[in-house]
Structure 1
Amino acid sequence: MLTLRIRFPAGRYHATPLGYHVNEGLIEWPPSPWRLLRALLACGYCTLAWRQPPAVAVSLLRRLAAEPPEFLLPKGALGHSRHYMPTARFDKGVEARTLVFDSFVDVGEGALLIRWPFELPEDELHLLTQLCEHLGYLGRSESWVEAELLGKEHPLCHEDWRGESGHCAPSDPGDLPAEHEIVQLLAPMKPGDFDAWLEAARDHALAQLPLPEGKRPSAALLKKREKALADLPGSFELALQAETEQWRKAGWNRPPGSQQLRYSRPYGRLAISPIRRVRHEEVAPVEAVLLSLRTPNGRRGGLPGIARTLPQAELLHRAVIAQRARGQRVRCPELIGKGEDGQPLSGHRHLHVLPLDLDADGRLEHILLYAPMGFGPEAQDAIDALKRTWMKGGAGELSVARAGRGALADLRRLGPPWSEAIARLLGAVEGAHKWRSATPFVPPRYLKRSGRNTLERQVLAELESRGLPVAGIEVLPWDRVAQGWRHFVRRRGGRAAQPPMDCGFALELDFEEPISGPLCLGYGAHFGLGRFDSC
C-alpha cells in the first residue's frame, strides 16, 4: 500500500482547523487530507514550474482523493507561543500590534505515517516521489517537514495498523473504538461524487436564470448566468486551488468540492505537556551578559542617546529586579549589592549596568551587565525573562534581547563593528596602563582643595576600594568631545542618593601596573558613569 512518512525537523506542527480563529488555540491533528493535497499541488507550482497541473498530476490527485487515508500518529504534546503581530496601523508614531496565539503540536523526533489502500502507476508514483522530495512545509510556514515515500518492501506498508496505539482512521460514531475520540477533518469529495455534484450545482444555478423561449436572451441575463457559473469550480483540481477569500465571497461555508470526514483519534496522542522546571544546580555562574536594544519600528535613530546612560541603566536595573521579585522580597546579592543580612557588599563585586555605544553613532544600542562575583541561576533567570525596557520620550518602549553571556574575555570574539569598542572597554589581553574617560567622572564626595577629598584623593580612594593599583591622574581639557558631556544626566532618579556636586570631569589615568576593564569609578559607577576606555 502507498505509505508516506513525514518528519518535522523543528519538532513542531502548526495548523488551525477550518472555521476556527488562530487565537482559539485549536490544532488540526492529524493534517487533513484536503490540506495535504493542496500542499502537493502548491509544491508542483513552486518547484516543478507548472503553469497548470499536467494530466498525470490531475490523475494522481483524483486517485488520492478517491480513498481517505489512514494515519499512524506519533506521540505529541500541545503547546503555544504568544506574539504581538504588527497591524500596519500607527498610533502616535508607534505601530500598533495585536496579540496572537501560535498553537502547535510538539512531536519531538516522531514521524507521521499516512497510508492509502492502493498502489500507484509508475508515472504517478514518480511524480509523487518528486513532490514529496520538494515539500518544505505543511500547515503554516514554520511547520517544516521532510516527506518521503516508503518502498513497497518496507514493513510499514503491509502491517495492520489497527492494533497500534496511534492509529487514526475514518470512523462512524457508532463504531468508535475504545479510548478514541471523534475529530472532524476536511477532505476532498471522491472524484465521481464531485463530478455529479458539480453538474447538479451548475444545473441548479442556471435553473434560477432560465433562457427565454422563442427570443434572444438579453446581455444582462447572459452576464448573470456567466457570473452564477463563475462561483463554481471548473474542475476537481481548480476546486483544490480555491483561495479562502474567493469561496467565502461567493457565500460558501467551506471550500467547494470538500467534505467533513469523521476520524477516530486515540486519546493520549495529543497531551498537555508538563512545565519543565529549570534545575538551578546545573546552571554555571557567568560573569557578564550582553543585551541588545531595539525600537518597535527598528529605526536606530529612536534609540536613547549616550547622554542618557545613567537613566537607561537605572530603568533596566529596575526591570531586572522586578523580574526577580514577582511581589516578593529580593534575595539576590549579585543584583542588589546587599548580603543576606541586608548590609551593602564591599569591593564593588555586584552588578554593573553599563549602557554602550559600540558602533559609535551616539546611540545606546547595547547594555553590558557585569558582576565580578558572577551571576547565579536566579539572577540569570531574571535577566533571561527580561524582554523590554523603556526610555523617556523617543521610542518609549524598547525591546531587549540577549546577545551573549559568559566570561568577559568572550566579548573579544565579537566581530566588527563592535570589536574596536570592546577592545577599548576591556583593554588589551595583557592589560593596559593608560585609561581615558568615556563617560563623565562624578565625584562621590564634595571636592575640597586639600585633604582626602581632593579630586585626586577621591579617585585614588575609588581605585583602592576596587583593589586596583595606584595611578597617575590628569584632568583633561574640555575638548569638542568632552564638551558634549555637559548634557549627560548625572543625577539618579527617585529616592536614590544624589551626587554632592552636580559636575563631571574628563580624566586620564596612568597605572603603574597594567589592568583590565571594565573600569568604572565614582558616583553612579554601577550605572555607567565614570567609565574609562583604554588608550
Structure 2
Amino acid sequence: MAAHALLIEVRLLDGRYHGLGDWPPSPFRLFAALIAGAYGGRWVAEPRHDKDAAFRWLEGLRQPEIAAPRAVRSRATTIYVPNNDLDSVGGDPARIAEIRGSTKQFVPWLFEPDVPLVYAWRFEDGAGHADRIAALAERLCALGRGIDMAFARAAVVEAGVAEARLIDHGGPLFVPGGAGEGERLACPTRGSFLSLVERHAAERARFTTYREGRTTRTSFRKAPNARAVQVAYARPSTFLLFELRGTDGKFRPQPVERALALTLAVRDRLVERLSTALPEQAAHVLRYAKGDRDAPDADKALRLRVLALPSIGHAHAGLALRRLAVEIPSGCPLRVEDVTWGLSGLDLSEIDGDTGEILRDGPMLVPASDRRMLGRYATVSARRWRTVTPVALPVAARNGRRGAERLQAETLAAGRLADALRHAGRDARGTVLAVRREPFHAGGVPADRFAGDRFAAGRLAHAEIVFPQPVSGPLVLGDGRFLGLGLFAPVDEVPGILAFGLAGDAVPPALAPRLAAAARRAVMARVRDALDLRPDAGLPLFFSGHAADGAPARTGTHDHLFVAVEPGCAPRLLVIAPHRAARREATGNERNHLATLERAFCGFERLVAGRDGAFGLVPLVEPAPGDRLIGPSSAWISATAYRPTRHPKRGDDPAAFLAADIAAECAARGLPAPERIDIADLQAGPRGGLAASVRLTFAVAVAGPILLGRDAHQGGGLFLAE
C-alpha cells in the first residue's frame, strides 16, 4: 500500500468544461496541461532536466483516483467559424459570409465553480519528484479547450489524508480498475512525456515551404498522436446491509415475491423519517431517496437503490428474503451517516394510518455484521448472470403459448432487455440475452407472482445475460431497479447446452441434419477466430471430433460437441457439451473449452447453409427440466433419423439388428435398457446403411438430452420426450 500521495486540486473559473469526450477531465489531459504550463510562457528558457525527470516519474505511477463536482451536460451550441483568408474576397469584410468555414458545436459540462476537481496519485518513492510537480502545478492556466481557464494547487500528503480528502469532497468518486466497465479515461503511461514533446515539435514544423521550378509550394504534415492508455474508471458505491429480524432477535424471512412491497415500505419510511428529522434537507431526501420517473439521468445516477437480497449460495437457502441492502452512489448528496441512522431499527410492520392499529406484524431492520451475502451479488465478476427477482421491462411483453409464437414473444422481450441494459448504463453490444416467465433458480417464483399495482404481470420477466467479458456486480436492471426488482446473481456453472431459435419457416426432419452440418462448420470457424488461428489450423478434439493427426476420434467416450437441429415449427439449433450428454460433471479442460465456445458465439446471429438458405439466430435460455429435450420421461421418440453404428451382416433381419444396436448404444451412454423399442419408417441405403424413426420406452423416467447412433454428433439420432 502506497504511503504518500500527490494531491492536485484544479478549479475551472466559470463552472464550465468544454473538453470533448471525457468527464471528468482525464488524467492524461491534466498531465498535458501541467506540461504546457511548466514549459510555456516565461519559463521557456528555464533548465529542463529536473522538470523532465519529474514528469517521467509521474507518467510511471498508477492511475490516479479522481473526485469531481456533480455535473450535467448543457444544450449544444453551434458556432460558425470563418476561414482566415479575407484576402480571397478582396479584403472586403462585407463579403465574409462567402468564406464561412467550419462549424463547431459545444456541449459543455456545467457544475459549481467553487467545487474543485481532485486528482490523487499514490506513490512509495520519489518524494522529490512529487514536490517538483506540486510546485509546477501552480503554472497551470487551462484544462480542456483554450477557453477553459483554470488554476491548480498541489501538495504531497500522507495516503490517509488523501483518502479523507477524496471522501470529504462530496462529489462522485472515480477509481481506476474494475472489469472493463465504467468511464474510460486516457491516462499517462511510459513514453507519454516524450510523445508530447515530439508532438509539440512536430506541430511547430507542420508547414514547410519548398521550390518546385519557379513556384514556391507549402506542404503540410500532421503531427503524431500523443501516447496514452485508456483505463476504465468505476464509481464505487457505499452499501449498507441490514438483516430482517423479529423482536426475539431471530431472522424473519419474507417470501421472495414480496421483494417489491418490502422495498417500497423501506423507501417510504426512510423518506418520512429523514424528512422529519432533517426538514432543511427534505427536498434532497425526496429527490434522491424517492426520486421521480421523469428525473434526468444525472439525478438517477445519484439516487438511492434499495435491494431485497434473496438468500443464495446454499442448496437449502430457498431464495427467502433475510437481508436488505441500500446502495448509496458516489456523489449522492445524502450523507451515509444520515441514511444509516434512518434505516437502523426501522419497523416494517403494516400499520393502519387512521387508527394506528398493527395490521401485520413485520420484521425490523438490524445492521448486519456478516456481509458475505452481499458479496455474492456486489463484489463478484462474471460473464453469465440470471435474475433472482424479475426485470420490469419498459413495455409489456406479448404472451406466447408455444412454438413460433412463444419464440417471437421472447425475442421481442430480449430486445426490451437490451434497452434496459442501456438505460442502466451497461453496454449491450455482444451480449447474449434470453427472457422467460419461469425462474432459473430452484425455489424461485414465476415472474407474474411479483406483479402489483406498480408493475403489471406482462412487464415482468426472468432473464439470463451472457456478456462478452466479465462484468462486476451488482447487476440490477429494468424500471424496478431502484425498488428491488431486476436483481441478477452471477452463474458460475458452465453451459451444458447452447440453444438458438431458427427464425423463418418450419424445418422438416430431412433438412435438420444438413442444417446441423452447416452449423458445425460455423461453430468450428468461429472457434478458430476466437482462438486467433488460421483457417486451416487444427482445433482441439473437443470442437472438431478429430485427433491431432486429423483422424476421426475413436475413443468411444464421445468427448466432443454434439451439434443438432430440432425440426418442427419452432426449430432450434442445439450445441450440446459432451458432459451434458453423458450426464456427468465437466472436467477442467471442458470448462475452459466451453468458455472459449461462449466467446465464439458472441455475435452469432445468422446461419448460412448454402442451397438450404440462411436463417436468423435468436439466443435462447438453456433448456431446463420440462423441456422436451430434457424430460424426464419414460417415452422418447426420435426427432431425426437414427442410424446404427455399424452395417448389418448379410442375412441379418434389419429391424432386429437395429433394435440390438439401439440397446447397445443406450448401454454405452449410461442409459437403462429400454423396455420396448418401436421402429418405424425403416429405410435401407444403396450401400446397406439403415435409418429409421424410433420410439424408446423405459421402465423409469429418464432425463435427456439423448443423442444416439453413428451421426449423433452431426444432428442424427436426436430424441425428444413424448
TM-score range, shorter chain: 0.3 to 0.5
TM-score by length of 1: 0.42
TM-score by length of 2: 0.32
Bigger relative contact order, structure 1 or 2 (CA pairs below 8 A, ≥6 apart): 1
